[in-house]
Amino acid sequence: MRLGVVGLGRMGGNMVTRLLRGGHEVVAYDRSAEAVRGAATGGARGADSLEALVRALAPPRHVWLMVPAGEPTEATIQALAPLLARGDTLVDGGNTRWTDDVRRARELAGRGLDYVDVGTSGGLWGLANGYCLMVGGARAAVERLAPVFTTLAPPDGWLHVGGSGSGHYVKMVHNGIEYAMMQAYAEGFELMSASEYGLDLPGVAHLWNQGSVIRSWLLELTADALRADPTLAGLKPWVEDSGEGRWTVEDAVEKAVPAPTITAALFARFRSRRENSFADRLLAALRQAFGGHAVRR
Ligand SMILES: NC(=O)c1ccc[n+]([C@@H]2O[C@H](COP(=O)([O-])OP(=O)(O)OC[C@H]3O[C@@H](n4cnc5c(N)ncnc54)[C@H](OP(=O)(O)O)[C@@H]3O)[C@@H](O)[C@H]2O)c1
């Protein structure tokens, strides 16, 4: 089918390539003219504005957004919606907070537009392996987009999980689990790196992927990273978070659902960004105050 794609970064650019390989026609727009030229070289029809993108699509139009969540996505939707007509569909494939989807779907329905939220997982490897897609929205709109989902995903790799917001909600929980899994691997490998056995850590990561209970793609990436830089000396111990972990914890608190492991993994990331922790200095000061214990200055 013919689809508009807005946002040709790491994800959007590769998704356009996969769609073109799957026989779809793509009209591609990005605020960077260079990114549009890149997509056009690959076989997409380049658009130099949102207006041009909409003009190049026939009703009912389908436009997939792949821009950063939050303000960039909001601003893009505010700019696009007035250009679209009743029966058209906007798809948000970014990591949007599901509560924003619920509001947007309602607002856009007022204009006769469908809104489909798609939690997308697969990162840079999705181009070759396919993207796991968690799809939320009205059934009819989702069914119209089924050929696109089928091309982007690996076999059995997309699911209509429910109404508006549910796609991003499921993706949020997916990412919360990802935080906890990564933290567990990181702690286990740090422990092994401190052991007296001089372990071959990339070897162990590879070994664990051969039939063990904790085999996973994250472990494959662990083996690759440790093979490339066994001590990881080239990296600072600074770990960002991009929202989904916080939202998972916020939702767990809201619903009084215990999620201690995901919460600890989120807080470990906050901790990684404290280069000279006030809390640790206070701990040292208190130990010295009550017990005369030594401190380092
Ligand atoms: N990377 C991943 O592994 C991954 C996985 C799943 C989902 N996602 C989600 O997918 C979305 C895109 O991620 P990405 O990794 O492709 O990001 P990216 O590489 O930074 O690309 C984002 C694209 O959006 C454009 N953009 C940024 N701010 C904009 C604005 N205010 N208005 C219009 N366009 C704007 C960027 O243009 P400039 O280059 O000019 O800034 C770029 O072309 C995000 O919501 C992200 O959370 C990412």
The structural domains of the chain, ordered by start, are 2-163 (3.40.50.720), 171-199+236-279 (1.10.1040.10)
Cα distance between residue 164 and residue 89, in whole Å: 13
pTM of the predicted model as reported, rounded to 2 decimal places: 0.95
Ligand 1 center to 64 CA (angstroms): 12
What separation in Å is there between the alpha carbon of 122 and the centre of ligand 1?
14
**Helix crossing, 244-254 with 166-193: angle to 10°?**
110
- CA–CA separation, 84 vs 125, rounded Å? 32
pLDDT at 231: 92
* Gap between the Cα atoms of 161 and 167, Å rounded: 6
Predicted local distance difference test score (pLDDT) of residue 89: 98
Mean pLDDT by 10 residues, the chain (297 residues): 98 98 98 98 98 98 97 98 98 97 98 98 95 98 98 98 98 98 98 98 98 97 96 95 96 98 98 95 97 96
Which residues have a catalytic role annotated? 171, 178
pLDDT digits (tens, 9 = 90+) for 140-188: 999 999 999 999 999 999 999 999 999 999 999 999 999 999 999 999 9
CA–centroid distance, 113 to ligand 1, in Å, is 23
Q: Please, where are the H alpha helices in the chain?
A: 10-21, 33-41, 50-55, 71-80, 98-109, 126-129, 139-144, 146-152, 166-193, 201-208, 217-228, 244-254, 260-272, 278-291
Nearest residue CA, atom 4 of ligand 1?
123
Q: Look at residue 40 in the predicted model and tell me its pLDDT.
A: 98
Residues with CB under 6 A from ligand 1: 7-12, 30-32, 35, 66-69, 72, 75-76, 94-95, 120-121, 123
The pLDDT, as a whole number, for residue 245 is 97
- Best residue among 32, 49, 66 to mutate for probing ligand 1's pocket (most ligand atoms within 8 Å of CB) is 66
pLDDT score, position 47: 98
Average pLDDT score, the chain: 97
pLDDT of 158 reads 98
Distance 262 CA to ligand 1 centre (A): 25
pLDDT at 167: 98
Atom of ligand 1 nearest to the CA of 12: 16
Task: Report pLDDT for 105.
Answer: 98
Question: pLDDT at position 207, please?
Answer: 98
User: Contact at 8 Å (CB) between 171 and 243?
Assistant: no
Q: What is the pLDDT of residue 247?
A: 98
